[in-house]
Amino acid sequence: MGFSDQERLNMTTKALLASVLDANPVAQWYETRASYAFLLDGSKVLTDLASVPVASSLTAARNNATASPSLIENLSTTGSAIRLTVVPGTNASTYLAYRTYNDTTSEQLDNWIQPQMIPQSTGAASIGYSIVLYDGDPAAGGTEVTTTDGTTGSGSATTVGWYWNYALGMLLLSEDFRATVSDPYVMGFRYTGTTANDSDTDSTVMIADETIAAGDIVRVVKNGEGGGLTVGRSVKANAGAINTAEVLGIATSGATAGNAFLVATSGSTGVTFGSTPASTLNGSTVFLSTTSGKATVTAPTGSGESVVQLGILTGADGSSASPTVALNINFVIALG
């Protein structure tokens, strides 16, 4: 005989609410000896999550994604909506988000930013990151499916018609509601920062002393610089002079003055160039530019300028201004 409904309820309650587990249906959570934990893949450990800014509105979330494209993927417009792919054998009750519709060999779009994981100062969730569900293409007359659509019951007996699992990018439809949503699309924001699987990138947290964007090359303000700069904070580096060319690393998230951001000091990361490099330049040595915060494949040659090697260009595709660079930061020479 299998577990009764009450036995399953008791086990699930102890596991989810008190993080303990056994199969004894009469043992309360405080009497259970074995702890409970999820088995978690490294791709679900979001090491840059603390750098995701709060978003009290959709506009704020979109602005955050623009400032930190390597940290947040913006899929919130009708033109970028993701058509969900039904999971075979689920009787059209379960769908997953893939980069290419109905192609399960393409990238699975997981790690959507869950609003509750980015609390505002008031404790409220960052609702700007909330997903929006449509039945049909939202760019071609699709109908929005609200959070209350399909809900039945009232009070403590209320049960919803659908769930969105942000971690997996999965839509779950109830048996009674699945026929109502036959062609689901989702819009929202994905976390695209580093995870525990990206162990080759070392990062440090810094405080910005000016507006910094993901991909900018940054340095640390030193004592005696003046000009209203704050010692110990970070600003964009520039090869035009030796005192502005001491590169710390590459910003992997954006920030305004006084706020924290992440800086990659080794490994591979996106670096912003003054002009978009062609794919034929992959393998080239990358240098700090005389344009503040930007990279170039041409070493500075002017008097008083500094030559700072950043690494090797590996991800140029001719369209991205912030392709991947394998970092190897070295100060080479100050030109006389």
pLDDT at 200: 60
pLDDT tens for 197-230 read 765 667 788 999 999 998 999 999 999 888 889 9
Residues 6+ apart with CB under 8 A from 29: 13, 14, 17, 18, 20
Minimum mean pLDDT range among 57-61, 93-97, 330-334: 330-334
pLDDT tens for 233-257 read 999 999 999 999 999 999 988 889 9
Residue reference for tokens 């293409």: 137
Question: Is 311's pLDDT higher than 90?
Answer: yes
CB 305 within 8 A of CB 335: yes
- 3-state DSSP call for residue 295? strand
Domains of the chain: 1-37 (no CATH), 43-191 (no CATH), 202-334 (2.40.300)
Q: What is the DSSP letter of 79?
A: G
Longest dimension (CA), the chain: 85
Of 194, 213, 185, give the one whose Cα is nearest residue 76: 185
CB 116 within 8 A of CB 128: no
pLDDT at 201: 63
Q: What's the chain's Rg over C-alpha atoms?
A: 25
Question: Is 19's pLDDT higher than 60?
Answer: yes
Minimum mean pLDDT range among 138-147, 233-242, 257-266, 286-295: 257-266
Residue reference for tokens 């699975």: 108
Give pTM, 2 decimals. 0.64
- 3-state DSSP call for residue 66? helix
Secondary-structure percent of the chain, ordered helix, strand, coil, rounded to 5: 15, 30, 55
